[in-house]
């Protein structure tokens, strides 16, 4: 059996590529090293164990739905966020692609309500922010919620399963290349699948695997910045005037002292702060999500500082993971938490001061001192950014605000690809999604899968 297309990875990029290829009448094979949605259950999230067991396939980031299935399911429907696809296909095409991918999410059960940010209230917030040098970026958001997101992705599986071949628990070891042409996949167990073209969409979980492939095929890559910061947790009341309207407030800020670029990221009204187990680097970092059916009294979001390292330094991932490892070391293997007042005055937070404060933590974390972990300029950047944010979110810079450390975003690998997302030097090979550095979120990952699939379909004619 020779398939028309073989897809590595059943995250949003792989799923949407497969849907497009099947719609175009192609014989498709999808492989993912993780499990189906119903079998994905992290023992820590289930409360069975306290420490990561290093499961052969991590239920949080691997399996049907990819990292997206365990995610908050917040779809950002504005072109300026969630990836670089615009650089490949242009703004107009990206807008159309986002609209069509979003419509598919709604068809499969996502909440039809969408948060818009285009009225007089949004304009007023933009004006108020600008007075402090804060750029407020209005975005259209659809919130599916972590729990509902699983149902949507499962509905996509039920739809695709009868129409293509899906192999789960199947680690792709290599892409078969013959005469500079991709001709199929080889699995860890030695078995092979042949196909006329191949899409690699392994996500961030597969970034190391992709790095190996890129090295072997000597594909050109561009370096990317890293983001390092903290997760901020405040009472809902601090953010709700804005989150009721926008769901998420996206802002950019250049700090006065160091002129570093900071941004807010992934805001979760009535949400929960959660640990994220980074298996490739053996680390625990912090993240946040909000559920459709279970609410806290707090809002959390990330404050991230973006750094572009210059020559001769070439290991931004090494730098960020080193910082995260320090936090784990001080916290006994998990997350650190500190009150903003304690960070400002240079003292360690302790359990009793946190208990007396206004914010009841939603995550288990060791009270500590983030200034022993984050380099000085990051601490200053974070404090200055929170002070500026206080203009549009009064109370966010109160002493009781909780800061969890550390949150890192590693985007250091970016492949040089054609506008169709085809690999220039290997016939029959396409790449899409977060792993190739094309996207950084569900919507652009899914859209990049469709872009690749349309080009694959053309090549099969
Ligand atoms: C905790 C968390 C919360 C998030 N919240 C949001 C959010 O609210 N909104 C948003 O837009 N984005 C969010 N994201 C990011 C979003 O999930 C990703 O941007 C998106 O899933 C990327 O899609 P992808 O298809 O490129 O890769 P992924 O979703 O990572 O899927 C890749 C798949 O490939 C598989 N794979 C990798 N290597 C191999 C191999 N060698 N063989 C076989 N299979 C392989 C993996 O098992 C995985 O299932 C979140 C991410 C996390 C981790």
CA angle 306, 311, 313 (to 5 degrees): 70
Domain boundary among 375, 394, 410: 410
Q: Does 163 lie in the same domain as 14?
A: yes
Tell me, what's the pLDDT at 57?
81
Pick the residue whose CA is nearest to atom 33 on ligand 1: 9
- Nearest ligand 1 atom to the CA of 432 is 26
Domain boundary among 394, 410, 426: 410
Query: Residue 301 contacts by C-beta under 8 Å, 6 or more apart in sequence?
Result: 231, 232, 248, 249, 264, 265, 266, 267, 268, 288
CA of residue 71 to ligand 1 center, whole Å: 9
- pLDDT band with cut points at 50, 70 and 90 for residue 55: confident
From 67, 147, 272, 302, mutation site for ligand 1 pocket: most ligand atoms within 8 A of C-beta: 67
Q: Does 258 lie in the same domain as 197?
A: no
- Hey, which of 40-49, 149-158, 223-232 has the most confident mean pLDDT? 149-158
Tell me, what's the pLDDT at 226?
85
Q: Is the pLDDT of residue 98 over 90?
A: yes
pLDDT tens sequence across 288-320 = 988 777 899 999 999 999 988 877 777 788 899
Residue 406 lies in a domain: yes
Q: Does 351 lie in the same domain as 253?
A: yes
Are 64 and 168 in contact by the 8 Å Cβ rule? The answer is: yes
Q: Does 310 lie in the same domain as 333?
A: yes
Q: Does 380 lie in the same domain as 424?
A: no
- pLDDT band with cut points at 50, 70 and 90 for residue 417: very high
Residue 381 lies in a domain: yes
Q: Residue ranges of the alpha helices (H) in 263-394?
A: 316-330, 340-345, 351-356, 376-389
Query: If you average pLDDT over residues 412-435, what whole number do you get?
Result: 90
Q: Does 212 lie in the same domain as 167?
A: yes
Q: Does 314 lie in the same domain as 200?
A: no
CA of residue 66 to ligand 1 center, whole Å: 4
Query: If you average pLDDT over residues 179-199, what whole number do you get?
Result: 97
Tell me, what's the pLDDT at 282?
85
What DSSP string describes 9-34? --SHHHHHHHHHHHHTT--EEEE-SS
Q: Does 151 lie in the same domain as 8?
A: yes
Q: Is the pLDDT of residue 52 over 80?
A: no
Tell me, what's the pLDDT at 430?
97
- Nearest ligand 1 atom to the CA of 287 is 1
Residue 132 lies in a domain: no
Pick the residue whose CA is nearest to atom 27 on ligand 1: 203
Residue 123 lies in a domain: no
Residue 184 lies in a domain: yes
CA angle 138, 140, 79 (to 5 degrees): 80
Tell me, what's the pLDDT at 80?
80
Residue 126 lies in a domain: no
From 79, 442, 448, 449, mutation site for ligand 1 pocket: most ligand atoms within 8 A of C-beta: 442
Query: If you average pLDDT over residues 172-193, what whole number do you get?
Result: 96
CATH of the domain at 197: 3.50.50.60
Residue 130 lies in a domain: no
Three-state DSSP class for 105? helix
CA of residue 86 to ligand 1 center, whole Å: 20
Tell me, what's the pLDDT at 70?
66
pLDDT tens sequence across 337-355 = 999 999 999 999 999 999 9
Summary mean pLDDT of the chain: 92
Residue 252 lies in a domain: yes
* Domain tally, the chain: 2
Q: Does 87 lie in the same domain as 32?
A: yes
CA of residue 434 to ligand 1 center, whole Å: 7
What is the CB neighbour count within 10 angstroms for residue 132? 13
Domain boundary among 410, 428, 447: 410
d(CA 397, CA 286): 20
Tell me, what's the pLDDT at 107?
97
Tell me, what's the pLDDT at 223?
67
Q: Does 165 lie in the same domain as 110?
A: yes
Q: Is the pLDDT of residue 412 over 60?
A: no
Q: Is the pLDDT of residue 416 over 90?
A: no
Tell me, what's the pLDDT at 68?
65
Are 285 and 406 in contact by the 8 Å Cβ rule? The answer is: yes
Q: Which of 143-147, 364-368, 404-408, 420-424 has the lowest mean pLDDT?
A: 143-147
Output the ligand 1 site: residues, CB below 6 A: 8-14, 31-34, 61-63, 66-68, 70-74, 76, 82, 171-172, 201-206, 209, 276, 287, 289, 433-435, 439-443, 445
pLDDT tens sequence across 237-296 = 999 999 998 888 899 999 999 999 999 999 999 999 998 887 778 889 999 988 777 899
CA nearest 98: which of 438, 411, 450? Answer: 450
CA of residue 31 to ligand 1 center, whole Å: 14
Q: Is the pLDDT of residue 413 over 90?
A: no
Q: Does 353 lie in the same domain as 325?
A: yes
Domain coverage including residue 147? 2-114+140-222+414-460
CA-based max dimension of the chain: 68
Q: Does 41 lie in the same domain as 175?
A: yes
From 110, 202, 209, mutation site for ligand 1 pocket: most ligand atoms within 8 A of C-beta: 202
Tell me, what's the pLDDT at 156?
97
Query: If you average pLDDT over residues 90-103, what whole number do you get?
Result: 96
Tell me, what's the pLDDT at 224?
72
CA of residue 439 to ligand 1 center, whole Å: 10
Q: Of residues 402 and 248, which shows the higher confidence score? A: 402
What is the CB neighbour count within 10 angstroms for residue 454? 17
From 6, 8, 9, mutation site for ligand 1 pocket: most ligand atoms within 8 A of C-beta: 9
């Amino acid at each position: 059996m020779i398939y028309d297309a073989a897809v590595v990875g059943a995250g949003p990029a792989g799923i949407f590529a497969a849907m497009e290829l099947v719609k175009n009448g192609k014989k498709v094979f999808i492989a993912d090293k993780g499990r189906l949605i119903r079998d994905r259950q992290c023992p820590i999230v289930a409360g069975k164990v306290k420490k990561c067991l290093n499961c052969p396939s991590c239920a949080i980031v691997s399996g049907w739905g990819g990292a997206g299935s365990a995610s908050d399911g917040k779809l950002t429907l504005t072109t300026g966020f969630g990836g670089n696809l615009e650089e490949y296909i242009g703004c107009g095409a990206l807008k159309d692609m986002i609209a069509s991918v979003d419509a598919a999410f709604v068809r499969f059960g996502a909440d039809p309500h969408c948060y818009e940010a285009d009225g007089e209230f949004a304009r007023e917030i933009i004006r108020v922010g600008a007075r402090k040098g804060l750029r407020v970026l209005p975005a259209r958001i659809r919130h599916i919620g972590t729990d509902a997101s699983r149902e949507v992705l499962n509905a996509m599986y039920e739809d695709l399963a009868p129409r293509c071949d899906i192999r789960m628990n199947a680690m792709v070891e290599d892409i078969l290349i013959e005469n500079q042409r991709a001709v199929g996949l080889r699995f860890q167990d030695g078995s092979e699948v042949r196909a006329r073209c191949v899409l690699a969409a392994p996500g961030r979980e597969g970034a190391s695997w992709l790095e190996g492939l890129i090295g072997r095929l000597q594909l050109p890559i561009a370096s990317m910045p890293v983001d390092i910061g903290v997760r901020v947790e405040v009472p809902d009341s601090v953010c709700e005037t804005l989150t009721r309207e926008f769901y998420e407030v996206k802002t950019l800020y250049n700090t006065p002292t160091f002129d570093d670029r900071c941004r807010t990221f992934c805001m979760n009204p009535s949400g929960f702060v959660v640990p994220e187990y980074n298996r490739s680097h053996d680390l625990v970092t912090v993240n946040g999500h909000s559920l459709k059916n279970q609410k806290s009294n707090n809002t959390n979001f990330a404050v991230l500082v973006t750094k572009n390292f210059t020559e001769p330094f070439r290991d931004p991932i090494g730098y960020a993971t080193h910082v995260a490892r320090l936090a784990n070391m001080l916290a006994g293997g998990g997350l650190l938490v500190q009150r903003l007042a304690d960070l400002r005055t240079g003292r360690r937070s302790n359990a009793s001061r946190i208990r007396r404060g206004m914010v009841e933590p939603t995550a288990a974390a060791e009270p500590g001192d983030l200034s022993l972990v984050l380099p000085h300029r990051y601490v200053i950047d974070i404090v200055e950014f929170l002070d500026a944010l206080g203009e549009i979110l009064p109370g966010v810079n109160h002493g009781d605000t909780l800061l969890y450390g550390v949150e890192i975003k590693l985007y250091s690998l970016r492949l040089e690809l054609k506008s169709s997302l085809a690999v220039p030097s290997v016939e029959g090979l396409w790449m899409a999604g977060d792993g190739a550095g094309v996207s950084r979120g569900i919507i652009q990952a899914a859209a990049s899968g469709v872009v690749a699939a349309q080009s694959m379909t053309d090549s099969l004619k």
